[in-house]
Chains A and B, each alone.
Chain A
Amino acid sequence: MSAPLIPSITALILLSSDGSRLSSKYYSQFMLHPNGPNSPETLALRTAFEKQLHKKSRGKNGEIEILTIDSTTACYVQTSDLKIFLTSPSTESELVLSYVLEGFYSALQMVLHNQVDKRTVLDNLELLMLLIDELSDGGRILETNPQNLAERVLMKQPGEAGEGTPIGELTIGQAFNQIAGQAREQIIANMQN
Chain B
Amino acid sequence: MSQSEEPLTTAGLMREITVLKEKFKGEDEETYSPYADLEKATVLQECRIFHDSKAVRESPRKCCTTITKLLYIVAQGESLTSAELIDVFFGVTKLFQSKDASLRRMVYLFIKEVAESCDRGDVIIVTQSLTKDMNSDTDLYRSNAIRVLARIVDAGMLGAIERYIKQAIVDRHPLVSSSALISASHFFESSPESANIVRRWLNEAQTALQSPHEMVQYHALSLLYQIKKHDRLGVSKLVTQLSKNGSLKSPLATISLIRYTSKLMHDEARENSGVSDGSSELARAGYSFLEGSLRHRNEMVIYEAARAICNLPGVEPQDLAPGVTVLQLFLSSPRPTVRYAAMKTLSEVAMLAPMAVVKCNEDIEVLISDTNRSIATLAITTLLKTGSESSVDRLMKQISSFMNDIQDEFKIIIVKAVKDLVMKYPGKQRILIGFLSNILREEGGFEFKKSIVNAIMFLMDAIPETKENGLIQLCEFIEDSDFTALSTIILHMIGNLGPDTPNPARYIRFIYNRVILENSQVRAAAVTALAKFGAKVPSLRESILTLLQRSLADEDDEVRDRSNIAVDVLKRAIAENDYSALDENGDPAPDVPTSSDSAAFLLLEPLPMSFSQLERSLKQYSNAPGALESAEPLSFNTLPVVEEVVEVAPVQDSNGSSNIMGASSPLASSAAAPPAADPAADIYAIPELAHLGRVFRSSPPVEQTESETEYVVKCIKHIFNEHVVLQFKVQNTVDSQRLDNVTMALEGESEILTVSGEIACESIPYGETGSCFTVLDRDVSVGIAPSAFTCELHFTAVGVDPMSGEEEGDSYEEEYAVEDLEIATSDFIAKVNLGNFRNSWEQMGNECEVLEKFALSFKSTEEAVENVINYFGMSACDGTATVKNPSKPHMLHLSGVFVGSKPVMVRAQVGKTADGVVLKVAVRSEDADVSRQVADCIR
Report the bound CA distance from A165 to B226 in whole Å: 41
In the complex, the answer to whether A142 meets B256 with C-beta atoms within 8 Å is: no
In the complex, the answer to whether A176 meets B300 with C-beta atoms within 8 Å is: no
Contact of B337 among A2, A47, A94, A154 (CB under 8 A): A94
In the complex, the answer to whether B20 meets A180 with C-beta atoms within 8 Å is: yes
User: Which B residues lie within 8 Å of A2 (CB)?
Assistant: 259, 262-263, 266, 311, 656
With an 8 A cutoff between CB atoms, is B285 at the interface?
no
With an 8 A cutoff between CB atoms, is B77 at the interface?
yes
With an 8 A cutoff between CB atoms, is B663 at the interface?
yes
User: Which A residues lie within 8 Å of B79 (CB)?
Assistant: 38-40, 43
User: Which A residues lie within 8 Å of B32 (CB)?
Assistant: 119, 122
- Which residues 152-211 of B sit at the A interface, judged by CB distance below 8 A? 174-175, 178-179, 182-183, 185-186
With an 8 A cutoff between CB atoms, is A48 at the interface?
no
With an 8 A cutoff between CB atoms, is B587 at the interface?
no
| Given known A-B contacts A5-B225, A24-B75, A37-B116, A152 and B8 have beta carbons under 8 A apart | no
Contact of A125 among B6, B35, B256 (CB under 8 A): B35
* A contact patch SS: mixed
- A41-74 toward B: CB 8 Å interface, digit per residue (1/0)? 0010001000000001001000111111011000
Report the bound CA distance from A125 to B655 in whole Å: 36
User: Which A residues lie within 8 Å of B307 (CB)?
Assistant: 3, 93
Report the bound CA distance from A94 to B299 in whole Å: 11
With an 8 A cutoff between CB atoms, is B303 at the interface?
yes
In the complex, the answer to whether B109 meets A133 with C-beta atoms within 8 Å is: yes
CB distance from B227 to the nearest CB of A (A): 13
User: Which A residues lie within 8 Å of B303 (CB)?
Assistant: 93, 95
**Residue of A whose beta carbon sits closest to that of B36:** A122
Contact of B178 among A64, A65, A142 (CB under 8 A): A142
User: Which B residues lie within 8 Å of A67 (CB)?
Assistant: 372, 374
| Given known A-B contacts A8-B657, A23-B75, A130-B109, A157 and B256 have beta carbons under 8 A apart | no
- Which residues 315-372 of B sit at the A interface, judged by CB distance below 8 A? 335-338, 340-341, 344, 348, 371-372
- Which residues 63-119 of B sit at the A interface, judged by CB distance below 8 A? 64-65, 68, 71-72, 74-77, 79-80, 101-102, 105-106, 109, 112, 116-117
With an 8 A cutoff between CB atoms, is A75 at the interface?
yes
Tally of chain A residues near chain B (CB < 8 A) = 82
User: Which B residues lie within 8 Å of A111 (CB)?
Assistant: 3
Tally of chain B residues near chain A (CB < 8 A) = 88
User: Which B residues lie within 8 Å of A154 (CB)?
Assistant: 3
With an 8 A cutoff between CB atoms, is B255 at the interface?
yes
With an 8 A cutoff between CB atoms, is B648 at the interface?
no
User: Which A residues lie within 8 Å of B344 (CB)?
Assistant: 94
Report the bound CA distance from A181 to B808 in whole Å: 80
What are 29 A-B residue pairs whose CB atoms fall within 8 Å in the complex? A1-B348, A2-B259, A2-B311, A3-B656, A5-B256, A5-B260, A23-B72, A25-B75, A37-B117, A38-B79, A39-B79, A65-B372, A66-B340, A70-B663, A71-B660, A89-B657, A91-B659, A95-B303, A96-B304, A111-B3, A119-B32, A122-B33, A137-B183, A148-B174, A152-B175, A160-B140, A176-B2, A180-B20, A184-B24
Beyond the given A67-B374, A95-B337, A126-B102, could you list 18 further A-B residue pairs with CB under 8 A, ordered by the A residue number?
Answer: A1-B661, A37-B116, A38-B117, A70-B663, A90-B661, A93-B303, A95-B341, A98-B337, A124-B1, A142-B182, A145-B215, A155-B105, A159-B139, A160-B139, A161-B138, A172-B8, A183-B20, A191-B28
B interface residues, Cβ below 8 angstroms from A: 1-3, 5-8, 16, 20, 23-24, 27-28, 32-35, 64-65, 68, 71-72, 74-77, 79-80, 101-102, 105-106, 109, 112, 116-117, 138-140, 147, 174-175, 178-179, 182-183, 185-186, 214-215, 218, 222, 225-226, 251-252, 255-256, 259-260, 262-263, 266, 299-300, 303-304, 307, 311, 335-338, 340-341, 344, 348, 371-372, 374, 407, 655-657, 659-661, 663
